[in-house]
Amino acid sequence: IMNPFFYIIVPIYNVQTYLHQCLDSLINQTYTHFKAILINDGSTDLSGQIAQEYCDKDSRFVLITQQNAGLSMARNAGLAYIKNDLLSIRGGDNRYIVFVDSDDYIELDGLQKCVDIFRQYDVELVSFSKIMGVNPSSGERKEYEHRVFTKELVGVYTPLEIIRAKTHMPIAIAWTFVAKSSLVFDNDISFIPHIFYEDIAFCTTLTMKCKHIYISDETYYNYVLSPDSIMRGSFTRAKRIKSVYSYFITLCYFRTLHDAEENPEFKEFYRQNCAFYAKDMMKSLGFIGYAKDLGFSKQDIAPMRKYMSFKHKNFCYHFPRIYGFPKKVRLWFMRYFGAKQ
């Protein structure tokens, strides 16, 4: 690979406090062969204006403005732009896709680190497994508690080797992955719209569809722990509803993969994913029960019971609010219900 070219997708929504830091980290990259696609997802603050300033002073920055549709749709708009751009380019084999959230930033040599990896290893996908957490007020950085893959996984792996390592759930966080554009578009991979946790299906599918992935332990991404982010803000009832619905949709996605898969090891991997997200769905359901505005019904999850533990597919399936009870009452209720079965 002589000169890899990077498309950087930056979804933007009401981040005027952090956006300069994010875009400065891109405009000052030591490796300059890139295009930053800024998607203003209906911001109501100065974010759109700030984004436009960068586009005005640097031709590598382009701005797409759309009505607020959420993170998935903003990223998908970036993917659609790239797909269209690639149609006008011959030999797009050296094109790669990067994700950066607009309240975060990457190291100034971040793209150069990607270049070095893609030049050295024959891989279609890179994951920067280590994440630096940034205190938004002090700027202090320390390694974030979550990693994409365990510390033991560094280097080149096949999807099967990832599965056999059994350290694979959840495979998530889009901005830790850098993917060859052909990997994304040849496999028609995009983000599920209008859900939380949209990274899970996207990143897992990227990992399973690539021939080889390089897992790096280098410092690359700086995750600013802003208090008003989607997942760190207060959990309202509407958020809880969306959270449960998101687990349900993610579970449906993996169930489809599980049912279609013929290779036993991949099939078991997808079954484990189904079990993992079925558990999360049922635990989340405990907060709200089968509410009318949930987006799915008790009957809709009946086919998923085969992925659930005994207590979830029996007690919780019928009485999802049981986890709101005090533990003594809950255990008595479960024993009583179990005796009646």
Cβ atoms 288, 294 nearer than 8 A? yes
Q: Does the residue 231 lie in any domain?
A: no
What letter does residue 316 receive in the DSSP assignment?
I
pLDDT of the residue at 79? 98
pLDDT of the residue at 229? 66
pLDDT of the residue at 184? 97
Q: Would you place residue 305 in the very low, low, confident or very high pLDDT band (cuts 50, 70, 90)?
A: very high
Contacts of 55 (CB under 8 A, 6+ apart): 38, 61, 62, 63
Q: Does the residue 232 lie in any domain?
A: no
pLDDT tens-digit profile of 55-106? 999 999 999 999 999 999 999 999 999 999 998 876 668 999 999 999 999 9
Q: Where are the beta strands (DSSP E) in 185-327?
A: 213-216, 221-224
State what percent of residues in the chain have pLDDT above 70: 90
- Residue 338 in this model has a pLDDT that exceeds 80: no
My answer on whether 207 and 297 are in the same domain is no
CA 4, 185, 76, 145 dihedral sign is: negative
pLDDT of the residue at 70? 95
Q: Which domain holds residue 87?
A: 5-224
Report the number of distinct structural domains present in the chain.
2
My answer on whether 58 and 196 are in the same domain is yes
Q: Does the residue 306 lie in any domain?
A: yes
My answer on whether 194 and 250 are in the same domain is no
**Mean pLDDT across 37-58:** 98
pLDDT tens-digit profile of 146-179? 999 999 999 999 999 999 997 667 899 999 999 9
Q: Count of alpha carbons within 13 Å of 156, Cβ hemisphere only?
A: 9
For the whole model, what pTM was predicted?
0.93
My answer on whether 192 and 254 are in the same domain is no
